[in-house]
Amino acid sequence: MNAASRKKALRYFFEKVVDPLGYKFSPDTELVEFCLEQEVSLEKKYGIPYCPCKRITDSRSENMKIVCPCIPFHKEHFDAMKRCWCGLFVHKDVTDPDTLMQFPESAVKKG
């Protein structure tokens, strides 16, 4: 399967996974295209479409938490930001993703 076809397949699959979680693809189509391209290349390299903005570690169990869409593993953090870390997905009610900021998980835990 070529990269364009794989990107299309990931998009189809991801949409079905994130919808019941209350998320959708970001309206920032340029960002979505870029992230999906990076995930296709990560999948080609590692066999798994990891988040393009997270460090791949030596721990398989830790790495499983960054397989896209990784929302279930970081729900509290992502819900607080209304987006996932890389911004590929946003809460369904988000219309302007530029207003959403990245902040570390520790900031959520502090309250």
Applying CB under 8 A, the residues found at the interface with another protein are 31, 34-35, 38, 41-42, 52-55, 57, 62, 66, 85-87, 101-106
Q: Shortest approach of another protein to residue 31 CB, angstroms?
A: 6
Nearer to another protein, 15 or 105 (CB): 105
Q: Shortest approach of another protein to residue 5 CB, angstroms?
A: 20
CA–CA dist 81, 67 (Å, integer):
19
Residue carrying structure tokens 């019941």: 20
* Neighbouring-strand partners of residue 22: none
Nearer to another protein, 17 or 41 (CB): 41
CA–CA dist 15, 33 (Å, integer):
14
Would you say 75 and 89 are in contact if contact means Cβ atoms under 8 Å apart?
no
Residue 13's identity, in one-letter code, is F
Nearer to another protein, 13 or 103 (CB): 103
